[in-house]
Structure 1
């Protein structure tokens, strides 16, 4: 599939892969910063964003699409950056074509993703709906955050509930959610039910890796991320306290600083 792709900047290419739900636009926290020094390539994965797809597909189709994308732009060597599902796909790409990638940045992800997310209640759903709608109309409104969002499912995505995080939710997460297809939902849920686990394989990845996790992540636990880092041959692991799955939107300055430092240490 010919993926809708956003390319910014010049320099060493970094393929930036979003999560579920997500889109190329939801990677702006990384691409706006990294494109000052690198060329960022952020596609809408099959079934997400503007890469429309109504037909059913499997997770492996993402790898086929991304390989074709790299071929299209004649990219023989690049870095990988993946958030959540995007991190899983980054690992899969590195396993499939190790000669093509020279470093991987993994964010809130794992080779064996485990969740500690509780079953949502009707009150969770209600407060999420109200808080989400109000936040979309008036992003970052503290009264809405305190009244609805802190009592909604957002509390499992964000820990510090700062207005900046809710700006990202309103401008990038909500549009990505509504642009995520049913086919994409099914492809991911099928892979999870089948018990996705690549821990025993990722020792084959020899390139430098950076793993970042949030201490309060309930969607992919920090323990799962840390275990993945331990199975990788050459991985630097950082776990941020008091943040959750969307921690790049909670502490963007610190995350970007750590990424930049790691890039400077390994690729200068």
Structure 2
């Protein structure tokens, strides 16, 4: 069920599914709430999943400039409308950074965190992008959008394009996710959203010293070959969190939820089962 939630006169487009304890699912950059479908389709069978398009993304687009901090006000307003008290926050990439910020600034609203391919002091080791990289990525992406998961395209163009840094397991399933969700996310991410992110990163974002303040249980899922937010930066975050379980998966990168979805969903299920108090079951 899709609906609108407003906070401070800015409307966020939200997809809400299922019933039960709320799990707020936050996408990355570029991204939309629809990008979180790999999680929400599974979790909504037992819980209420709330997946917004963040300000400046998807159907929450804006032409007005804003700061990264504005996302937090939007999300607290959303929680006030959509959740009774507390929620588990699941964040992927940028969504994970926002999840940690919510836990630091509004700990009474967060019962637990699930962090995917993210870090409190994120750094990248992505190689320089060439013109050929961009050409191959554009052609591979277009062909994949027309014919998702085509083996010829994956082997001939996909593995030579920038997709090689986003995923490590070049199988049709991952490319079908790229066709269904990534293209839409890329095309619907606004310039103000990109500017807000780059400005925050340019200021040298680092919340690692503050992480001991996050006392709720945390699960962190890491792609060993992640070039966008390195596994080393994710592990630094995991080790600084006082109540964190973490897993690092070989032969996966920044889009690991689209590479090994069943593995990650099983790990999330087991973590929730080990911490029933997070979802009001104790």
Bucket of the pairwise TM-score, normalised by the shorter protein: over 0.9
- The answer to whether the aligner puts 1:161 opposite 2:170 as a matched pair is yes
| Counterpart pick for 2:254 among 236, 245, 263 | 245
Q: 8 Å contact 1:57–1:187 — kept in the other structure?
A: yes
TM-score for both structures, normalised by structure 2 = 0.94
Q: 8 Å contact 2:112–2:218 — kept in the other structure?
A: yes
Secondary structure at the counterpart of residue 61 of structure 2: coil
CA distance in structure 1 between the aligned counterparts of 2:210 and 2:11, rounded to whole angstroms: 29
- The answer to whether the aligner puts 1:10 opposite 2:42 as a matched pair is no
In structure 2, what is the equivalent of residue 220 of structure 1?
Answer: 229
Q: Deviations over 1:115-135 (max 9, x none)?
A: 010110111111001100000
Q: 8 Å contact 1:2–1:69 — kept in the other structure?
A: no
CA distance in structure 1 between the aligned counterparts of 2:155 and 2:91, rounded to whole angstroms: 31
In structure 2, what is the equivalent of residue 235 of structure 1?
Answer: 244
CA distance in structure 2 between the aligned counterparts of 1:202 and 1:75, rounded to whole angstroms: 26
In structure 2, what is the equivalent of residue 190 of structure 1?
Answer: 199
How does 1:1-268 map onto structure 2 within 5 Å? 1-267=10-276, 268=281
- Please, which runs of 5 or more residues in structure 2 have no aligned partner? 1-9
Secondary structure at the counterpart of residue 87 of structure 1: helix
TM-score for both structures, normalised by structure 1 = 0.99
CA distance in structure 1 between the aligned counterparts of 2:11 and 2:191, rounded to whole angstroms: 19
CA distance in structure 2 between the aligned counterparts of 1:69 and 1:14, rounded to whole angstroms: 12
Q: 8 Å contact 1:141–1:163 — kept in the other structure?
A: yes
CA distance in structure 2 between the aligned counterparts of 1:124 and 1:187, rounded to whole angstroms: 26
CA distance in structure 1 between the aligned counterparts of 2:216 and 2:180, rounded to whole angstroms: 34
The alignment yields a C-alpha RMSD, in angstroms, of: 0.7
Q: Post-superposition shift, 1:74?
A: 4.4
Secondary structure at the counterpart of residue 58 of structure 2: coil
More moved, 73-82 vs 203-212:
73-82
Q: Post-superposition shift, 1:75?
A: 2.9
CA distance in structure 1 between the aligned counterparts of 2:63 and 2:146, rounded to whole angstroms: 29
Aligned pairs, how many? Answer: 268
CA distance in structure 1 between the aligned counterparts of 2:274 and 2:82, rounded to whole angstroms: 27
CA distance in structure 1 between the aligned counterparts of 2:113 and 2:244, rounded to whole angstroms: 9
Q: 8 Å contact 1:110–1:225 — kept in the other structure?
A: yes
Q: Post-superposition shift, 1:206?
A: 0.2
Q: Post-superposition shift, 1:210?
A: 0.3
